């Protein structure tokens, strides 16, 4: 079955981005020309997705406003690009009623997803080139859930879901187990879930079976651990760039790296960097 739908959870608090996120969603934090969530919606669109569900929550109304069609008399090219995308995709919204974790947020997508595989893109993560497009290719071959991973330094494993797996072909691994935010001692590998997934609808039943885990929240990784006992799951090693806009250092790095590549501001940033003595 073709992957036609995407779900973008954008309901979590931005505690690692405070006070920037005190009165605005972390998904609306700017990276060069656009807020993070716009990159995520564009990734879904450029991966061939036609229907997108954004799961928002308390304090996240600015996200809905951002995806209204612009009525500005004169538009910049980024707003025009977004309006063009809005002509071609359907964007729906649902609100997570209380903060109970990523697994709980994903549960709100059940009616939208119906009985189809779907792409899941975390709303505070940017990937280049579009990781979802690559995951869909892997899904087409294996026809079951696939989770994008990347290597992280050992001292960072406790920030991510970590997978235990064995390689079946270049960059594709069969998942044996998954652990949400393990300590260094508990981590089964250094392959971290980076926030892009293709999931089968069986995940919803697994979420219902999931008990509160790390931080007392319903963790998606715990639900996937149950899913892994019912069907095969694969991990795909993404070799592109991935920025986690949920923390300040990565957000600043994303701005600098992406600004350096940008036609409008790249030269100015290069000059600035050359002039700074460190």
Rule CB under 6 A: is residue 194 a binding residue for ligand G1P?
A: yes
Rule CB under 6 A: is residue 245 a binding residue for ligand G1P?
A: no
**Quick one: 7 or 220, whose CB is closer to ligand G1P?**
220
Rule CB under 6 A: is residue 150 a binding residue for ligand G1P?
A: no
What is the rounded distance in angstroms from the CA atom of residue 131 to the CA atom of residue 261? Answer: 19
Phi and psi, residue 32, nearest 5°? 55, -100
Rule CB under 6 A: is residue 132 a binding residue for ligand G1P?
A: no
- Give the single-character DSSP code of 210: P
CB of 16 to ligand G1P, least distance (A): 8
Q: Are 260 and 269 in contact (CB under 8 A)?
A: yes
CB of 166 to ligand G1P, least distance (A): 20
List 35, 117, 195, 213, residue binding ligand G1P (CB under 6 A): 195
Rule CB under 6 A: is residue 160 a binding residue for ligand G1P?
A: yes
List alpha helices for 1-52, DSSP H: 36-46
Rule CB under 6 A: is residue 39 a binding residue for ligand G1P?
A: no
Strands 191-199 and 34-35: unpaired
Q: Measuring CA to CA, which residue among 206, 234, 200, 227 is closest to residue 218? A: 206
What is the rounded distance in angstroms from the CA atom of residue 59 to the CA atom of residue 45? Answer: 26
What is the rounded distance in angstroms from the CA atom of residue 276 to the CA atom of residue 278? Answer: 6
By CB under 6 A, what part of segment 166-185 binds ligand G1P? 180
**Quick one: 109 or 193, whose CB is closer to ligand G1P?**
193
Name the site residues for ligand G1P (rule: CB under 6 A): 12, 102, 122, 125, 160-161, 180, 192-195, 219-221, 244, 246
């Amino acid at each position: 079955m073709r992957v036609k739908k995407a779900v973008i959870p954008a309901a979590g608090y931005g505690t690692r981005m405070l006070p920037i996120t005190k009165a605005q969603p972390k998904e609306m934090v700017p990276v060069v020309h656009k807020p993070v969530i716009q990159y995520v919606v564009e990734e879904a669109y450029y991966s061939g997705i036609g229907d997108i569900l954004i799961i928002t929550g308390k304090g996240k109304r600015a996200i809905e406003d951002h995806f209204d069609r612009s009525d500005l008399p004169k538009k910049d090219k980024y707003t025009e690009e977004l309006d063009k995308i809005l002509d071609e995709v359907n964007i729906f919204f649902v609100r997570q009623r209380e903060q109970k974790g990523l697994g709980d947020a994903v549960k709100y997508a059940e009616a939208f997803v119906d009985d189809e595989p779907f792409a899941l893109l975390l709303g505070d993560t940017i990937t280049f080139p579009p990781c979802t497009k690559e995951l869909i290719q892997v899904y087409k071959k294996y026809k079951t859930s696939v989770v994008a991973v990347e290597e992280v330094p050992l001292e960072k494993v406790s920030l991510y879901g970590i997978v235990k797996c064995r390689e079946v072909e270049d960059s594709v691994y069969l998942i044996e187990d998954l652990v949400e935010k393990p300590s260094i001692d508990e981590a089964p590998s250094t392959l971290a879930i980076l926030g892009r997934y293709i999931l089968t609808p069986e995940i919803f039943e697994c979420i219902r079976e999931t008990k509160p885990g790390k931080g007392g929240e319903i963790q998606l990784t715990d639900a996937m651990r149950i899913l892994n006992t019912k069907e095969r799951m694969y991990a795909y090693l993404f070799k592109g760039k991935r920025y986690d806009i949920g923390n300040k250092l990565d957000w600043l790095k994303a701005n600098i790296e992406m600004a350096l590549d940008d036609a409008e501001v790249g030269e100015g940033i290069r000059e600035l960097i050359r002039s700074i003595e460190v």
